[in-house]
Structure 1
């Protein structure tokens, strides 16, 4: 996940466009369309897997459209397409899917993430195919319904929850990818970050959960012990860090962690031992 952006007001000069023959009467000229700019990036709320590979092909948006119609989708020509390991999108790492793409102002109804067929999960050293029929046929529709004001730049964060997205059938060889993705505007959310100081000696993954009384957001510390929970709505959170129960180590709990939009709360020097 990259450093949180503070959105700034940008001024864009538009040229008047005249259709038909020249005339001293401007009443026949169409109104200039107002536009906004959007960027989209993806982060991961990981599950307890070795790797989760998803095949990102494109990202599309529907602005001022009919959510019940399949018309009106516009491709943003996604950057960084191809197979990506979701478990690498932790500890401050994100995947840029679109950057400063100009769209009409108004209502951003939906974002659609298009996946290809090369989706797999690695569990205990074994690679399993992930079945993703809905993603391959029409893409993953994420409801946004956010107003885009003219001349503003918005960054949307897609939080791909790997833990909830991978569904096991009775046969372990039959695993479905039913993506659970939350979308939020980066400038309207905050971040909790931290460092598990004794991570190297634990011999265990460290799971971090942040709960605001309504929703729970999860992540894992990366190989250096750092963690980042991004795109958190404003509010007070209880943050719980836990390791494998076999280690016999008590959870570490932080209460009343206040998250404000555009700000990062840092939890330092976290020790289990």
Structure 2
């Protein structure tokens, strides 16, 4: 009887320790997605992401951790991360609390390809130490949190001439638990287009994944949006879809959207 009591006490102690750890820590998964630009590819040397968490325990200084991108090949073509495509760039356990800052770290080997021509890209001096993303997400203890970085190429890459680009990355962070999505498919599925979700002064862009039969996805949304569709092929007309409502943790399906051909004069 005494032996049984000792074993029970030991197991109970282990369980209490595990429960206490779950009460104080959270698992975060950092994903990268893209809003496209009019280029063939944009390759970046991806090193990882720094995260900063303000603990609920009342610590005077935030907790910082570097989550390394652990792929053996650090080069990533961001232009491919459209539609349902996403890339896990960092994962780690951090104290529960408030995720207040992220910093995406890139190396020096970054370049764009347009019309089969490669042009090397240089980060501006303020961005050489990392690309800051201001966020404000609550990290609940004992669960996994999916956090996304939206790399908006349309805003990040400015073409000044045939082989002259300004590279000023525009990044947006959002939590999957606090936002929703809009998805659909363009027809014909082989046609490329830029799509814009507009809510007052806020504009989110995305593109069509022609490899997935014209699918598109807007992520990190909440509220009511107007969707503008601008085909790259001028033989098709632009289109507008109004009053698209998005709720957190839900996907609003727009179904198949058929592009209308321009009428011949």
| TM-score category of the 2 structures, normalised to the smaller one | 0.7 to 0.9
SS state at 2:234 partner: helix
Superposition pairs for residues 146-185 of structure 1, below 5 Å?
Answer: 146-169=137-160, 172-185=162-175
CA contact (8 A) 1:194 1:267 kept: yes
Q: Which has the higher strand share?
A: 2
When residues 63 and 272 of structure 1 are mapped into structure 2, their CA distance, relative to the original with a 3 A threshold, is same
SS state at 1:257 partner: strand
* Map of 1:139 onto structure 2: 130
- Which structure 2 segments of 5+ residues have no match? 1-13, 56-60, 261-265
What's the CA shift for 1:172? 4.8
1:258 and 1:153 map into 2 onto residues whose CA distance is 27
* Map of 2:263 onto structure 1: none
1:244 and 1:73 map into 2 onto residues whose CA distance is 43
CA contact (8 A) 1:33 1:104 kept: no
1:84 and 1:135 map into 2 onto residues whose CA distance is 22
CA contact (8 A) 2:124 2:168 kept: no
Of 192, 216, 219, which residue of structure 2 is paired with 1:230?
Answer: 219
Of 67, 70, 93, which residue of structure 2 is paired with 1:76?
Answer: 67
Deviant stretches of 4+, over 6 Å = none
When residues 14 and 168 of structure 1 are mapped into structure 2, their CA distance, relative to the original with a 3 A threshold, is farther
SS state at 1:246 partner: coil
* Map of 1:47 onto structure 2: 37
* Map of 1:241 onto structure 2: 229
Q: Which has the higher helix share?
A: 2
Provide the aligned length of Structure 1 versus Structure 2: 237
Cα shift readout 1:4-62 (whole Å, capped 9, x = no counterpart):
xxxxxxxx95629xxxxxxxxxxxxxx99811121110100111111111110111111
* Map of 1:15 onto structure 2: 17
What's the CA shift for 1:160? 0.3
Of 235, 238, 247, which residue of structure 2 is paired with 1:260?
Answer: 247
CA contact (8 A) 2:182 2:253 kept: yes
What's the CA shift for 1:185? 0.6
Of 186, 192, 195, which residue of structure 1 is paired with 2:185?
Answer: 195
SS state at 1:199 partner: coil
SS state at 1:75 partner: strand
What's the CA shift for 1:157? 0.7
TM-score, normalised relative to structure 2: 0.80
When residues 97 and 14 of structure 1 are mapped into structure 2, their CA distance, relative to the original with a 3 A threshold, is farther
What's the CA shift for 1:245? 6.6
CA contact (8 A) 2:22 2:141 kept: no
What's the CA shift for 1:153? 2.2
Superposition pairs for residues 111-122 of structure 1, below 5 Å?
Answer: 111-122=102-113
CA contact (8 A) 2:54 2:62 kept: no
